[in-house]
Amino acid sequence: MSTPASILIIGAGQAGGCAAAALRAEGYEGRITLAGVEPHRPYERPPLSKAVLHDASAEETLFLHKPEFHDGLEMDWLPGADVQSLDVGARLARTATGDALDFDRCLIATGGRARLLPGVPPDAPNVHYLRGLDDARRLRQRLQPDASVIVIGGGFLGLEFAGMARRMGVAVTVCEAGPQLLGRAAPPLVGAWLQARHEEAGVRVLCGAAVSSVTARADGVSVSLADGVRLDADFLLVSIGQLPNIELAQQAGLAIDNGIAVDVRCETSAPGIFAAGDCASHVSRFLQRRVRLESWQNAQEQAQVAARAMLDLPAAYDVVPWFWSDQLDMNIQMLGMPNPALTYLTRGQPTEPKFSVYGFDGHQLRYALVVNSGAEMTPLRKLMSAGASVDASLLADPARPVRETVKAALG
């Protein structure tokens, strides 16, 4: 196909905004329509559970593009546009207000939404979720030194919030239903280490704490746990994961497999319709399975691949999954995903400010979580990307620079 005359991007978040910029950077001069439910221009979400919670001025750094750059993209930007139907054959989408959006090619970048706590109305008093800028603004108002909060969910997002709330003087209790913190993202030794760090900071952490009921009142919340314990606080943050926004793709008849299924070019089962970011699932060579990632890197890089693919340029999404988190005074970075079949080794000790955990499958590094050791990321990523064998004991030896061990392994 020749260059498309018009491209519709549905979802003006990180992937949507990044794709628009990438299209122009590739020299695309056709019409771009960027339709997004939110009233804001595209912004990045990671600061919402970090700096934005305590500092309103940090909002200025959120946005993907400065206003003049955004304007320079010369798009039809449609804030507040909720796209409700997509007719793949007719190349036509329709918003909730009935506006018709035609296109030659389309990118679905609808992201995800917070998973709601069953049995609790989402608008119940003193019950909060954290997904968008407006959620973070409401939470910032609540973070006063004499306040108390219960965080349901001990994943990255809940823990980032807990750490920040504690630093701001709030009394914080984290309830995690599973046996450890970060149960999906890290092996047990990391969960235990993180729990100790949060407890040292004054966060009360309860693992194996399944919530049986929540009472939300105008003056606070009460949480009853399955073991009969009752907790009271001023407010609740529910942070129990997210659901991908796939309903539009489902309605359009696209293949769904734990997200909108895309190929290596980020194209869906319908030719000319692409998907990227939190809503899309792809087959990862590194994880050896189909996976839907919820990370900054994935949104950014899939959007760039999709932009090139929409212009019929060579494009392939083939990256080692990377995620980072800032909690308390720690920067945590992760490559790959943990898996019980891996053999774990630590480099340094969890009692030290810097240490790393590596997961090996034989001589192949499949997972790495590094604490305050960001410089390790580039060599480790190269190693995993190349699939090269490495001597695990050398890599885990704190006396040997990671860079040198990797260099030797790559030959």
Ligand X SMILES: Cc1cc2nc3c(=O)[nH]c(=O)nc-3n(C[C@H](O)[C@H](O)[C@H](O)COP(=O)(O)OP(=O)(O)OC[C@H]3O[C@@H](n4cnc5c(N)ncnc54)[C@H](O)[C@@H]3O)c2cc1C
35, 332, 368, 384: residue in contact with ligand X (rule CB under 6 A): 35
Q: Is 299 in the site for ligand X (CB under 6 A)?
A: yes
Q: Is 127 in the site for ligand X (CB under 6 A)?
A: no
Q: Is 153 in the site for ligand X (CB under 6 A)?
A: no
| Closest residue to ligand X, based on beta-carbon distance | 13
Closest Cα partner for 303 from 80, 39, 30, 42? 42
Q: Is 38 in the site for ligand X (CB under 6 A)?
A: yes
β pairing state of 235-238 and 105-108? unpaired
Q: At a CB cut-off of 8 Å and minimum separation 6, what does 286 contact? A: 319, 320, 321, 336, 366, 384, 385
Supply the minimum distance, in Å, between the C-beta of residue 111 and ligand X: 2
CB contact at 8 A, 207 and 198: no
62, 117, 130, 149: residue in contact with ligand X (rule CB under 6 A): 130
The residue range among 37-45, 214-222, 348-356, 379-387 that interacts with ligand X, by the rule CB under 6 A, is 37-45
Q: Is 63 in the site for ligand X (CB under 6 A)?
A: no
59, 176, 294, 301: residue in contact with ligand X (rule CB under 6 A): 294
Q: Is 12 in the site for ligand X (CB under 6 A)?
A: yes
Q: Is 83 in the site for ligand X (CB under 6 A)?
A: yes
- Closer residue to ligand X in complex, CB, 63/324: 324
Supply the minimum distance, in Å, between the C-beta of residue 35 and ligand X: 5
Q: Is 154 in the site for ligand X (CB under 6 A)?
A: no
7, 23, 88, 109: residue in contact with ligand X (rule CB under 6 A): 109
Provide the mask over 233-252, with x wherever binding to ligand X is found by CB under 6 A and - wherever it is not.
------------x--x----
Q: Is 325 in the site for ligand X (CB under 6 A)?
A: yes
- Closer residue to ligand X in complex, CB, 325/356: 325
Q: Is 13 in the site for ligand X (CB under 6 A)?
A: yes
Q: Is 16 in the site for ligand X (CB under 6 A)?
A: yes
- Closer residue to ligand X in complex, CB, 126/245: 245
User: Between residue 342 and residue 381, which ones bind ligand X under the rule CB under 6 A?
Assistant: none
The residue range among 45-53, 309-317, 331-339, 397-405 that interacts with ligand X, by the rule CB under 6 A, is 45-53
Q: Is 304 in the site for ligand X (CB under 6 A)?
A: no
Q: Is 335 in the site for ligand X (CB under 6 A)?
A: no
- Closer residue to ligand X in complex, CB, 244/409: 244
Supply the minimum distance, in Å, between the C-beta of residue 134 and ligand X: 11
The secondary structure of the chain, three-state, reads: CCCCCEEEEECCCHHHHHHHHHHHHCCCCCEEEEEECCCCCCECCHHHHCHHHHCHHHHHHCECCCHHHHHHCCCEEEECCCEEEEECCCCEEEECCCCEEECCEEEECCCEEECCCCCCCCCCCCEECCCCHHHHHHHHHHCCCCCEEEEECCCHHHHHHHHHHHHCCCEEEEEECCCCCCCCCCCHHHHHHHHHHHHHCCCEEEECCCEEEEEEECCEEEEEECCCCEEEECEEEECCCEEECCHHHHHCCCCECCCEECCCCCECCCCCEEECHHHEEEEECCCCEEECCCCHHHHHHHHHHHHHHHCCCCCCCCCCCEEEEEECCEEEEEEECCCCCCEEEEECCCCCCCEEEEEEECCEEEEEEEECCHHHHHHHHHHHHHCCECCHHHHCCCCCCHHHHHHHHHC
Which residue is listed with tokens 């580039």? 378
The residue range among 106-114, 180-188, 218-226, 264-272 that interacts with ligand X, by the rule CB under 6 A, is 106-114
Q: Is 11 in the site for ligand X (CB under 6 A)?
A: yes
Q: How far apart are CA 204 and CA 38, in angstroms?
A: 35
Q: What is the side-by-side order of every strand in the sheet holding 211-217?
A: 211-217, 220-225, 230-233
CB contact at 8 A, 183 and 175: no
Supply the minimum distance, in Å, between the C-beta of residue 324 and ligand X: 5
Supply the minimum distance, in Å, between the C-beta of residue 248 and ligand X: 5
- Closer residue to ligand X in complex, CB, 268/295: 295
Q: Is 278 in the site for ligand X (CB under 6 A)?
A: yes
33, 49, 126, 281: residue in contact with ligand X (rule CB under 6 A): 49
Sites of contact with ligand X (CB under 6 A): 10-16, 35-38, 45-46, 48-49, 81-83, 109-111, 130-131, 157, 245, 248, 277-278, 294-297, 299, 323-325
